[in-house]
């Protein structure tokens, strides 16, 4: 797998995991809740994860919740809280 393909795979996993847990990274970046640099750093962190298959399995199951191995759980939780505070999440 090329580096670009690996990067795209991890970006997709991270974005999906974030959305599943109330953090729309694209919207959060657009409104200034998170910087592009922080999203890039989070993607780089995700690239170093050794639990890709477990992550894909969790996401394909449809279950919400952040797995204990997620390297970006703090960022995802913070963005979800900020979006809740701004009234941008349903519920």
Reported pTM: 0.91
Look at residue 52 and tell me if it is in a domain. Answer: yes
> In terms of Cα–Cα distance, which of 83, 15, 18, 17 is closest to 54?
17
Q: Which domain holds residue 23?
A: 3-85
Residue 14 in tokens:
């991270």
Question: How far, in Å, CA of 58 to CA of 38, rounded?
Answer: 24
Determine how many CB atoms are found less than 10 A away from the CB of residue 42.
23
Question: How far, in Å, CA of 63 to CA of 38, rounded?
Answer: 25
Look at residue 9 and tell me if it is in a domain. Answer: yes
Look at residue 91 and tell me if it is in a domain. Answer: no
Q: Which pLDDT score, from 0 to 100, does residue 6 have? A: 93
Look at residue 77 and tell me if it is in a domain. Answer: yes
Mean pLDDT of the residues in the chain: 94
Q: Is the pLDDT of residue 78 over 60?
A: yes
Report how many domains make up the chain.
Answer: 1
Question: How far, in Å, CA of 43 to CA of 15, rounded?
Answer: 9
Q: Is the pLDDT of residue 91 over 70?
A: no
Look at residue 56 and tell me if it is in a domain. Answer: yes
Look at residue 90 and tell me if it is in a domain. Answer: no
pLDDT band at 89 (very low <50, low <70, confident <90, very high): confident
């Amino acid at each position: 797998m090329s580096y670009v393909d690996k990067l795209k795979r991890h970006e997709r996993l991270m974005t999906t995991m974030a959305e599943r847990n109330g953090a729309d990274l694209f919207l959060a970046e657009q409104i200034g809740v998170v910087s592009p640099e922080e999203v890039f750093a989070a993607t780089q962190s995700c690239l170093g994860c050794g639990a890709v298959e477990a992550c894909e399995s969790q996401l394909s199951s449809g279950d919400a919740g952040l797995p204990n191995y997620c390297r970006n759980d703090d960022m995802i939780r913070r963005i979800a809280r900020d979006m809740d505070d701004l009234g941008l999440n349903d519920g």
